[in-house]
Amino acid sequence: MRQPGACLVGWSLVAEGVVDYQIGWRWWPGGGVLMFSIEFDRVARIDTYFLMKSFKFIDLFAGIGGMRLGFESAGGTCVLTCEIDSHAAETYKLNHASPSKDHVYAKDIFDLKSSDVPKHDVLVAGFPCQPFSIAGLRKGLKDKRGKVFEEIVRILVDRKPVAFLLENVKGMLSHNGGETYNKIMKSMLEDAGYTVKETVLNSMTHANVPQNRERLFIVGFRDASKSEAFQFPEKIKLTKAIEDLLRHEEAKERHFYTERYDCYEQIKRELKSEETLYQWRRQYVRENKSNVCPTLTANMGAGGHNVPLLKHGSKIRKLTPRECGLFQGFPENFKLPAGMAESRLYHQFGNSVTVPLISRIAQQIAKVL
Ligand SMILES: C[S@@+](CC[C@H](N)C(=O)[O-])C[C@H]1O[C@@H](n2cnc3c(N)ncnc32)[C@H](O)[C@@H]1O
């Protein structure tokens, strides 16, 4: 079987007060080697190199590339992107250059021939979740959108990557009394030749991102011993707070609530604290007591008042798309296409993943590839 290679990631730090010259290496807990040299004069320069396993992955149902950012940070190179929505693809392409001329862009997965999928080590897919969402229509696998799962299995069978990561809503686990996942989906993945592990992880407990977002993560390896060695990331402390991710200075007039909204008076009455985020739920306002952002969802782009609300001084506004990106752990310099309707940006961030959580899972996968 093909083995992933290795790549060297380096960075330099200039600091004051180092009193020795050293050169050496240490095992890096993430599964590589950390090499460093420290030179000092009056000012120290520290060069560090982290040897990461390099591997290739394909990014199915790629959206705006949240999964891609996570896997690239773990040493992966994307060799295929598949996304049907032209607006999501526009945001994706603005932020992710083709890493090589061999990189393939595909639109509809139903039109993607397995023979056109480049060789890869990891298949990555945050596939459409509506059929399984507890908030959705409970149409399950009969829904055409449910069929995309069969397309993932087709590519696994035909291309046999070493591992995969699938992401979906937590409700998929309990859909149809657990039968949809356990008896159909997991069996299909096992029949495709994989040993499968799944768990639900929350961005606020596992990624140091203050968003209450529980998602199901399914990881499979062709080699059972690799699956045994693989562990989902442990909990980490949440040190970031809502206020760290608010960018009041960037909010525009259109983000503020005024008398022009029917619900304004009620919202004004009920939004009391500046330290939390609120949600408008048709007839009432829900406060998030845990001091984190409520789950950002794709329907934020569907008009209405689905975007979380906040009080700033005497004013009330919704989060901006940029802030939604930050609450999904996207980098501050992630580009938003100029001229794209904000409703689309809200939809894209709600549909995406919490990037630092994907990075942590991807690192765990890369360790055992
Ligand atoms: C839950 S989102 C995944 C978002 C992605 N993980 C991200 O980080 O932005 C599912 C994506 O699948 C895309 N999609 C739905 N049906 C598809 C199809 N038949 N072929 C390719 N992409 C499809 C949707 O347009 C949507 O962007």
pLDDT value, residue 137: 39
Least Cα distance to 345 among 335, 333, 332, 336 occurs for 336
What integer pLDDT is reported at residue 48 of this predicted model?
A: 60
Q: For ligand 1, say whether the CB of 358 is within 6 Å of any of its atoms.
A: no
Ligand 1: which residue has its CA nearest to atom 12? Answer: 61
Ligand 1 atom 5 nearest Cα: 63
Q: Is the CB of 194 under 6 A from ligand 1?
A: no
Please report the atom of ligand 1 found closest to the CA of residue 167.
Answer: 6
- Contact call for residues 38 and 21 (beta carbons, < 8 A): yes
pLDDT for residue 27:
58
**Token pair in block for residue 333:** 């310099």
Q: Which domains does the chain have, with CATH numbers?
A: 6-47 (no CATH), 54-237+354-368 (3.40.50.150), 242-350 (no CATH)
How far is it, in rounded angstroms, from Cα 108 to Cα 288? 38
Task: Name the closest-CA residue to atom 26, ligand 1.
Answer: 63
Instruction: Tell me the sheet residues that pair with 199.
Output: 217
CA-based nearest residue to 169, from 201, 214, 205: 214
User: Which is the closest atom of ligand 1 to the Cα of 145?
Assistant: 16
pLDDT tens column, 162-200: 999 999 999 989 988 888 889 889 999 999 999 999 999
At 271 the pLDDT is 79
Q: Which ligand 1 atom is at minimum distance from the Cα of 109?
A: 20
| Residues of the chain below pLDDT 50 | 1-2, 18-21, 133-138
pLDDT of residue 1: 44
Is residue 293 flagged as an active site residue?
no
The whole-number pLDDT of residue 268 equals: 82
Give residue-wise pLDDT tens across range 313-346. Answer: 889 999 999 999 999 999 999 999 999 999 999 9
pLDDT at 139: 53
pTM equals 0.87
